[in-house]
C-alpha cells in the first residue's frame, strides 16, 4: 500500500510566490515516487494580532493521524505556522518563520516595535516556534540563511535541503540583449526601487523588464514616471512560463537584491539560464550562490548598481563568463536528495 504523506501549508489567499511553488513542486515530486500525497492548507492572516494568534493555533487542533480510517504516515510542515501541526511522525522543511518578530523586528519591514503589545506577540511566536519545531523528528530548511536564523533565535539545529526551481531542465541561454531582468513579487523587501533608480545613471540603450505583481507595483510605476524612465522600464505583470524562460534566456543580467532573502528561486533560475546576478551584500540566501566577481556582483551599496550594469553592457563577454560559472555552480541541485531525506522516517 502506498504511504500517505500530507504536506502542510499556510496560504495567504490570492498570494502565490516561492512558498506556493515549493509546495506544489514537492507534491508533484512525491507523487512521481509513488507516495499518496495531499496538501492540507489553511488560510493565513497576520493582522490584527488576534488573527495572527488564531491562524497559528488553528494548526494545533487539526487531527491528521488518519483520514477515512486510514493511517497518515507522515506530515511535512513548511512555513509558519503550518509546522504547528501535531503528528507522531512530523518532519519540518522550513521555508521561513514569521520574520516580522525575528530578524525584521523593529525595522521598516515589520509592524512590530518595542511596545508591550509587540513584545508579547514576539514572545508568543518564539514559544510557538520553539515548541512546535522541537516536536519534529527531523528539521530541514530551504537555505543556509534559514538554518542560521533558526539557530540564532531558537537555538534549534537543522539541515539545509536545496531544491531546484520549477522549470528545471527547461532553462536555456539564447542571447545577451540590452535589458536587465527583475523577477518576483513586488513588495518592499524585494527592493526593486533601487534598480529603477539606478537605471537613470546607465547607458540610455539599457532597459529594465520587471516581471511580477504585488502591492508595490503602483508605487514603483509612480517612481518610474517621476524619474522619466517610462520608455525604459516595462512592468510585465504576471508572465506565463514560456515567456519567463524567454526573458531569462535573452537578458543581459538578472537583478535580484531582496533584503535578507530565505532562498530565492530567481538566483537559481538566472544561473540555470547562464546569466549573471546583481545583488547586494545584505541579500541573505542569495549570497549562498552569488560570488562577487565570479558569477555576478555583490554590491555594498545601491549606488554601485548602475556602475555594474554599465560594465556588463560594455563587456558582454564578462556577463557570459559569469553566467557559465553560475550554471556550473547550481546544475547539480535536484529533487532526489530532498525527497530521500524528507521521507526517511517512513522508509
Each residue of 112-144: pLDDT tens digit?
999 999 999 999 999 999 999 999 999 999 999
- What is the CATH classification number for the domain harbouring 52? 3.40.50.2000
**pLDDT for res 26:** 96
Provide the 8-state DSSP code for 334: -
Same-domain check for residues 209 and 135: no
**pLDDT for res 162:** 94
Same-domain check for residues 124 and 185: no
Q: Which residue's entry shows cell 508579547?
A: 120
Same-domain check for residues 187 and 157: no
* 289 conformational bin, left if phi > 0, alpha if psi -120 to 50, beta if neither: alpha
Burial annotation 234-252 (CB, 10 A radius, 16+ → b, else e): ebbeebeeeebbebbbbbb
Q: Hey, what's the cell of 165?
A: 526551481
User: Which residue, 219, 229, 221, 222, is CA-closest to 198?
Assistant: 229
CA distance 6 to 75: 5
Count, in order, helices (H) and strands (E) of the chain. Answer: 11, 14
Q: What is the pLDDT of residues 77-111, one digit of tens each?
A: 999 999 999 999 999 999 999 999 999 999 988 99
> Structure pTM?
0.86
Q: Hey, what's the cell of 245?
A: 524562460
Same-domain check for residues 128 and 197: no
Walking along the chain (347 residues) 10 residues at a time, the average pLDDT comes out as 95 87 94 96 95 96 93 97 97 96 92 94 97 97 94 96 92 98 94 96 97 96 97 96 97 96 92 98 95 96 94 97 98 94 92
Number of domains in the chain: 2
**pLDDT for res 264:** 84
Residue 347 covered by a domain: no
Residue 337 covered by a domain: no
Same-domain check for residues 113 and 215: no
Same-domain check for residues 151 and 14: yes
**Domain extent at residue 223:** 179-330
Cβ atoms within 10 Å, residue 203: 12
CB 251 within 8 A of CB 275: yes
CB 326 within 8 A of CB 274: yes
Instruction: Classify 275 as helix, strand or coil.
Output: coil
Amino acid at each position: 500500500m502506498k504511504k500517505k504523506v500530507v504536506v502542510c501549508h499556510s496560504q495567504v489567499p490570492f498570494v502565490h510566490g516561492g512558498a506556493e511553488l515549493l509546495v506544489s513542486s514537492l507534491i508533484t515530486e512525491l507523487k512521481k515516487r509513488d507516495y499518496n500525497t495531499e496538501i492540507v492548507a489553511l488560510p493565513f492572516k497576520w493582522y490584527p494580532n488576534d488573527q495572527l494568534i488564531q491562524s497559528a493555533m488553528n494548526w494545533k487542533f487539526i487531527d491528521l493521524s488518519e483520514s477515512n480510517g486510514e493511517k497518515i504516515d507522515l506530515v511535512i510542515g513548511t512555513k509558519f505556522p503550518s509546522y504547528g501541526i501535531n503528528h507522531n511522525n512530523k518532519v519540518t522543511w522550513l521555508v521561513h518563520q514569521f520574520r516580522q518578530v525575528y530578524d525584521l523586528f523593529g525595522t521598516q519591514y515589520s509592524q512590530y516595535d518595542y511596545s508591550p503589545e509587540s513584545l508579547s506577540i514576539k514572545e508568543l511566536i518564539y514559544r510557538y516556534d520553539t515548541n512546535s519545531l522541537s516536536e519534529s523528528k527531523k528539521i530541514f530548511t530551504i537555505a543556509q540563511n534559514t538554518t542560521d536564523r533558526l539557530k540564532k533565535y531558537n537555538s534549534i539545529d537543522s539541515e539545509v535541503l536545496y531544491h531546484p526551481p520549477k522549470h528545471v531542465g527547461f532553462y536555456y541561454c539564447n542571447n545577451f540583449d540590452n535589458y536587465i531582468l527583475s523577477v518576483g513579487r513586488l513588495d518592499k523587501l524585494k527592493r526593486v526601487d533601487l534598480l529603477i533608480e539606478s537605471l537613470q545613471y546607465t547607458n540610455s540603450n539599457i532597459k529594465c523588464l520587471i516581471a511580477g505583481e504585488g502591492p508595490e507595483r503602483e508605487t514603483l510605476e509612480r517612481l518610474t514616471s517621476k524619474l522619466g524612465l517610462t520608455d525604459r522600464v516595462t512592468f510585465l505583470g504576471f508572465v506565463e512560463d514560456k515567456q519567463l524562460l524567454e526573458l531569462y534566456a535573452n537578458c543581459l543580467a538578472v537583478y535580484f537584491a531582496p533584503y535578507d532573502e530565505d532562498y530565492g528561486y530567481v538566483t537559481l533560475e538566472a544561473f540555470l539560464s547562464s546569466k549573471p546576478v546583481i545583488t547586494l551584500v545584505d541579500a541573505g540566501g542569495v549570497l549562498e550562490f552569488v560570488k562577487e566577481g565570479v558569477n555576478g556582483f555583490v554590491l555594498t551599496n545601491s549606488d554601485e548598481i548602475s556602475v555594474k550594469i554599465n560594465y556588463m553592457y560594455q563587456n558582454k563577454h564578462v556577463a557570459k563568463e559569469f553566467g557559465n560559472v553560475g550554471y556550473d555552480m547550481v546544475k547539480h541541485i535536484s529533487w532526489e536528495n530532498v525527497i530521500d531525506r524528507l521521507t526517511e522516517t517512513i522508509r
